[in-house]
Structure 1
C-alpha cells in the first residue's frame, strides 16, 4: 500500500484558526519559505507606512526627518550624511553585499554554474534589462528625465518572491528557480549600470586605497586567526575610500562579496570539526571550546556563514527601513495630476510593466523556438509569462536609482509614483496571467502525467532505452517501502524482459528521512563512475547506515575512485540533478514514496508485482505474454530492479 505522509487531523476541540482563507491561500503555496513571505510582508508594510507618513497633515515632517544630518568629524575631516543618505549609501551596502554573496554562490555552485542550465534565465534577464530601458527612452528621449532610464531595468527580488507566493501557481515547480536565477543576473546588470552610468566624478587616490583594501580582503582566505575583525576593518576602509572617490559606495559591498570564497563543505574539515567537538565533550574547557567553534566555522565557506548571518538583517530590517525612507510620495492632487501628465511616470510604468513582460517572455520563446535552450518540466511559456509580469515589480533598486539619477524633487515624486503604480499593475497582471494559464491547463491535470519524458542521457534506466513499456519510480533510498518495492520491480522486469525499461528518479523525503538527500547525491556520484545500480542495493540493504563514512565504505567496496566520488557528491551538477527530480515531483504533487508512473501515467494504489504487471498490460502498449516467454516461468534477466 502506498504510504502518504500527512499532517495530523484537527480534533473538534481545537480552536479554528483566525483568517482561515488567508492561511489556506499562503499554506498552499508550497516551495516558498516563511522568511520570504515575511520579508515581502514587511516591505509592503513599510511602503504603506511611508506613504501614510508622507501624506499626514503634519507639514513636512517626513522630508524634514529624512533630511536631518548626521556628521562625523576626525581632525579636520568631516563626513556628513542625512538620514536618507545614511540608509541609501550606508545600510544598503550590506544589502548589496548579500546580493553579491548570492551572485557568487549561484555562479560557483548553483543554477548558473553550468551554461546549459543558465542560458535561458541569463538571456531572459538580459532582455528584461534592455527592453524596458528602450521603451523608457522611446517615451523620454530627451531632457533630464532621459537620464533616469536605469529606474526601469531591475526587479525587486523580495517583492517578486512574495507576490509569487501569493498569486503564483500552487505548485511553483521550476518557475521559482528560474526567477531566482533571472533575478541574480538582473541584479548584476543593475549594479553594473549604477557603477558605469551613475557615477559622476572619480578621484583616483581614494580609488587606489579601495583597491588595496580589496586585495587585502582577497588575501584573507590565507589567514587563520582574527578573520572577523580584519574583514570588518578592511570592509570599512573600502566603503570610506569609495565614498571619497566618488564611486557609489554600495558597490563596495558587491566587490567585497565577490572576493569571499565559496565552496561546498569538505569532508576533512567536517571530520576535524567532529573531532574537536568530541574532545570538548570529553574535556570541556575554554581552549577546546574555542577550537571546536573555530573548527565548525571552518567546515563551511565564509560565503555561507556570512550569508546566513546577514540575510535576516537585510530582509527584516534594512529593506523595510529603505522603503520607509524612499517610498514616501506626497500623493496630493497636484502630484498625482502632474504624474498622470508626465512622460516620466508613464515611461517608468511602460518600461517596468510592458518591458519586463515582453522582454523576458519574448526572448524565452525565441530561444526555445531556435532550440538554443530548453525549459524545465512544467515551465511553460504561460508560467514564464506570469513570472515575467511579476518581474515588473521594480522597487528597491528602482527607488535607489531615482535618488541617483534625478535631482528635481518634483520629478523624483513623479518617478516614484510610476514605480508604485507599475508595481501594483505588475502584481495584478501577474495574477491575471496565472489565472488564465491555470484555466487553460489545470494543475490537477499536470499531476496525472509524467512531467518530464524519459531521457537516456540523464535518467537511470534498466532495460533497453527504446523498450515499448516504461515504469518510472520516484523513490527515497532511506524509505523502507522503497526498499521492499525492489522485490516487486524484480518480478515485473523478469516478466516483461526486454519489453520494459525501468527508470529511477529521486524524491528524498528529508523531513522524515534525514539521510535521504545525502544518499541520493551518493548515487549520482556513483553514476558518474557507471555504478548507480550497484550502489543502490547496498544503500537499500543498509538503510540504518547512510552516514557519509558509510557511503564512502560502500563506494570503496565497488572500487570507485573515492576522491572523485566525494568531490562529485558536492558538485553543482549532482546537487542540481537531485533537486530537479524533487522539483518535478512537487510539480506533479507527488509527496510520498514510492510513486510509480506507468507508460507516462500516474499509478495509484498497491504496487505489488501483480498489480503493476496488470496495469502495464492495461496501458495498451503491452501484448499478452507468449507461452514460455516472460511471465510464464521464463528466466529472470540479470541485475533486475535495483536489487
Structure 2
C-alpha cells in the first residue's frame, strides 16, 4: 500500500528543521507543546469521583459498625422505624431498613441496568470477540466462589447462602483501583468493569431465580404491561420524563406485589431505556441553535438550544449522568449505613472464627474470585482462546483478580435475603467485611510489589502491540526493512508538522520503510480529536482513510460535525453509510483501543514515534528519524514489529 502524499504547500520551519504543512500562504501559529500531564483539576475529576464514592462508602460502613457496637438497640430501633406511604386504604408499610433495601436500592439497580444496557449496545459487550475473555472470566468468577462456599458450608444448613460470595462490589473495585492500582490502569479498568457488568448480570439473575420465594401471576402480568408501555414511551414527542416516572412507579409496585424482589424492577426498566451514540446531524443541529441563541439571546432560543443539546444524547446516558452521583454519594452509603451494622466483641468474633459460614465467605470471595478469574484467563492464554489487550499482562490480571474479592453491596444485600437467623446474619456480615479487607490488602501489596519489580523507566520503551496489516493503517510494503509507527492526534499542530517529516522519510527511503498511523487523541487539549479520529475510521470503512487523514490535517481549524460530513461528501463517500459508521460501536472501539495502547505505554504527548518497535526520543525531523531507523534496524528481533 503506497503512502499518502502530504498536503501541500509545504514550508521549512526554521526552528525545528521540520517540513511544516501550511493551510494558507501565511503560516499558522504553533502553540506551545502541551504539558506531559493533564491539568491537576482534570486528574482530580478523573480519579476523584471514584475515590470519593468509595471513601463515602467506607465512612458509612465505619459509622454503621461503630453505631451498632455503641448501642445496637438504637441502631435496630432507628432502622426498624415504620413508614406508612399512601392515602386512606391504599397504603404501603415499610420499616426504614426495608424501605432502603426495597425502594431506594431500586435506583441503584436501575443504574446497574443502565450500564448493562449501554455495554451491550455501544460498549465492550457489543461483539463476542471483544467480550469473550472478560465474560468467560466473569462466569468462572461467579461459579468457583459459589462452589467453594458450598464445599466449606456443607452441613451448616446455610448452603443456600452461596449467593453472598458471587458478586464484586463495583464501586469499591473502581475506587480501590484508583487508590492502589498500577500506573496507566486504563485497559485493566475497562477489563475489570466489563467483568463487573457480567458479574452484576449473574447476581441479578440469581436474586430473581434463587432468592424469590413465591410468584403472583396477576401482578407480574401488570408489570409486563407496564414494561411494554415503558418501551414505547421513547416514541412520544413530548412528556417522556413524567411518563417514564409514572410507569416506573407502577412497575415497581407490581414487582413488589408479585413476590419478585422489587429492586429488580429497576433493572427491568433500565434495560428498556434506549441508548445510542449521538447522531452527527443532531449534534450539528444543536450547535446551530446554540449559535442562533448566541446571536439573539432570548428565552425561546435558549429553550430550543437546551432541548436540542439534551435530545442529542441518549436517554440512557442522560439518566446515568443524573443518577450516578446520587447513587455513589448517597444511595450506596445509605445502604451501607443500614446494613453494615455488625456487632463486634470478643464473643461474637470467637463465634465467627469458629463458624464455617465465616470462612466459607472469606474463602469464596478472596480465594474463589482469584482462582476463578485468574485461573480461567491463564487457561485461555495457554490454549490461545481470545486475547488480552497490550499492557494487560497476567501480572496485572492477578492484581485485578485479587481486587475482585471485594464483595460488599450485593453481598450484604443477599445476606438479608438468604439468611433468616439474625445471629448468623451478623456472622455473615463479619465474613463479608473481613473478606473485603483481606482482598483489598492483598491487592494493594501485590500491585506495590509488582510496580517495584517493573521499573517505570521501561514503560513504553517498546511498542506493545506489534504492527498488524489487517488492523493497522499501514503505508508501504509489509516486508520493508524499516517500520515507523506514529501515535498522533489530528488536531495537534506538532502532528501536522510531523506529516511533512514522514513524507520526506518515505521519499528518501522508498520501499525500505513502512509507515503506520495510530490514534492517540489528547481530548483534554483538543476537543474534536476523538470525533476526528472516529470520522477517519468511518472513512476507512469505505477505503478512504488516507484521503480523510490528509483533509483533516489540511484544515485543522474546521473539525466540527458538519465539516466531517462535508469532507465525506467531497471525497465521494456514501454519506449515509458514513454517518451510520460514525455512530457504530466498532468505530468507537477502534479509536479507544489505540488510545488505551497509548496509555499503557505512557504516551502523554503527541506525536510519539516508534522506530523499528523502539520508542524514538529526540527531534522528529526527517534526518533524525532516518538515523534512528537505520541505527535500530540491525538489533531489532526478527518479527518483533511485524
Q: Same fold (TM over 0.5)?
A: yes
TM-score by length of 1: 0.91
Instruction: Give the corresponding residue for 2:609.
Output: 596
Partner Cα separation in structure 2 for residue 505 and residue 31 of structure 1: 27
- Please give the per-residue CA displacement for 1:214-240, whole angstroms capped at 9, x wherever unaligned: 111011011111111111110000111
- Corresponding residue SS for 1:92: helix
- Corresponding residue SS for 2:158: helix
Partner Cα separation in structure 2 for residue 59 and residue 488 of structure 1: 73
> Structure 1: where are the runs of 5+ without partners?
11-22, 624-643
- Corresponding residue SS for 2:620: coil
Pair 290,482 (structure 1): closer, same or farther in 2 beyond 3 Å: closer
1:320 to 300, 323, 333: 333
Instruction: Give the corresponding residue for 2:51.
Output: 37
TM-score by length of 2: 0.91
- Please give the per-residue CA displacement for 1:569-608, whole angstroms capped at 9, x wherever unaligned: 2211111111111111111111111111111111111011
| Aligned counterparts, 1:619-630, within 5 A | 619-621=632-634
2:69 to 55, 59, 65: 55
CA contact (8 A) 1:595 1:603 kept: yes
CA contact (8 A) 2:284 2:561 kept: no
Partner Cα separation in structure 2 for residue 29 and residue 221 of structure 1: 36
Q: Does 1:5 align with 2:19?
A: no
Pair 181,622 (structure 1): closer, same or farther in 2 beyond 3 Å: closer
Pair 379,558 (structure 1): closer, same or farther in 2 beyond 3 Å: same
CA contact (8 A) 2:487 2:608 kept: yes
Instruction: Give the corresponding residue for 1:19.
Output: none
CA contact (8 A) 1:132 1:352 kept: yes
- Please give the per-residue CA displacement for 1:529-569, whole angstroms capped at 9, x wherever unaligned: 11111111111110111111112222212111111112212
2:93 to 80, 90, 104: 80
Partner Cα separation in structure 1 for residue 185 and residue 304 of structure 2: 43
Instruction: Give the corresponding residue for 1:253.
Output: 266
CA contact (8 A) 1:506 1:578 kept: yes
Q: Does 1:495 align with 2:508?
A: yes
Partner Cα separation in structure 2 for residue 375 and residue 564 of structure 1: 31
Partner Cα separation in structure 1 for residue 454 and residue 302 of structure 2: 57
Q: Does 1:90 align with 2:103?
A: yes
Instruction: Give the corresponding residue for 2:543.
Output: 530
Offset, 1:28: 12
Partner Cα separation in structure 2 for residue 229 and residue 276 of structure 1: 25
Pair 347,258 (structure 1): closer, same or farther in 2 beyond 3 Å: same
Instruction: Give the corresponding residue for 2:534.
Output: 521
1:565 to 578, 589, 604: 578
| Aligned counterparts, 1:57-136, within 5 A | 58=71, 60-136=73-149
Partner Cα separation in structure 1 for residue 336 and residue 536 of structure 2: 46
- Corresponding residue SS for 2:516: strand
2:163 to 121, 138, 150: 150
Pair 286,609 (structure 1): closer, same or farther in 2 beyond 3 Å: closer
Equivalent residue pairs, number: 607
- Corresponding residue SS for 1:621: helix
Q: Which has the higher relative contact order, 1 or 2, with Cα contacts under 8 A spaced 6 or more apart? A: 2
Partner Cα separation in structure 2 for residue 431 and residue 139 of structure 1: 27
* Larger displacement relative to structure 2 (192-201 or 63-72): 63-72
- Corresponding residue SS for 1:371: coil
Partner Cα separation in structure 1 for residue 495 and residue 112 of structure 2: 40
- Please give the per-residue CA displacement for 1:350-371, whole angstroms capped at 9, x wherever unaligned: 0000010010001111122222
Partner Cα separation in structure 1 for residue 449 and residue 129 of structure 2: 30
Instruction: Give the corresponding residue for 2:485.
Output: 472
Partner Cα separation in structure 1 for residue 528 and residue 546 of structure 2: 19
CA contact (8 A) 2:156 2:356 kept: no
Instruction: Give the corresponding residue for 1:631.
Output: none
- Corresponding residue SS for 2:487: strand
Partner Cα separation in structure 1 for residue 521 and residue 42 of structure 2: 21
Offset, 1:458: 1.0
Instruction: Give the corresponding residue for 1:164.
Output: 177
Compute the RMSD of aligned alpha carbons: 2.2
Partner Cα separation in structure 2 for residue 588 and residue 40 of structure 1: 28
Partner Cα separation in structure 2 for residue 525 and residue 9 of structure 1: 28
* Larger displacement relative to structure 2 (441-450 or 286-295): 286-295
Partner Cα separation in structure 2 for residue 487 and residue 296 of structure 1: 38
Partner Cα separation in structure 2 for residue 268 and residue 489 of structure 1: 35
CA contact (8 A) 1:144 1:406 kept: no
* Larger displacement relative to structure 2 (447-456 or 126-135): 447-456
> Structure 2: where are the runs of 5+ without partners?
1-15, 19-31, 637-642
Partner Cα separation in structure 2 for residue 552 and residue 229 of structure 1: 36
CA contact (8 A) 1:5 1:591 kept: no
Offset, 1:481: 1.1
Instruction: Give the corresponding residue for 2:423.
Output: 410
| Aligned counterparts, 1:545-624, within 5 A | 545-621=558-634
* Larger displacement relative to structure 2 (505-514 or 392-401): 505-514
